[in-house]
């Protein structure tokens, strides 16, 4: 998984993948075709593949304050 090094923030990657893994464990279907059955691996593949997006809460808060 060398693509992890190209991410903006490893913390954001882990956080997004963890949230998506919880969704998968709760019954959500995978967004990308995969051969693995583990929710954590599926979630990491989805985040790295761009199927799952995430945003910075601080930027969202600043944007709402400016209005």
The whole-model pTM stands at 0.73
- Residue-wise pLDDT tens digits, 33-67: 999 999 999 999 999 888 887 776 666 544 444 44
pLDDT value of residue 64: 41
Q: Which two tokens stand for residue 24?
A: 């998968």
Q: Where are the domains of the chain?
A: 2-66
- Residue-wise pLDDT tens digits, 6-28: 677 788 888 899 999 999 999 99
- Topology of domain 2-66, per CATH? Eukaryotic RPB6 RNA polymerase subunit (3.90.940)
> Long-range CB contacts (< 8 A, 24+ apart) of 43-51?
43/16, 43/17, 43/18, 44/1, 44/13, 44/17, 46/17, 46/20, 47/13, 47/16, 47/17, 47/20, 48/1, 48/3, 48/4, 48/13
Contact present, 47 and 30 (Cβ < 8 Å): no
């Amino acid at each position: 998984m060398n693509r992890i090094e190209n991410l903006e923030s490893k913390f954001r990657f882990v956080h997004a993948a963890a949230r998506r893994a919880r969704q998968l464990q709760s019954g959500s279907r995978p967004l990308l075709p995969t051969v693995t059955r583990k929710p954590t691996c599926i979630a990491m593949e989805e985040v790295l593949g761009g199927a799952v997006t995430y945003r910075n809460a601080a930027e969202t808060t600043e944007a709402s304050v400016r209005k």
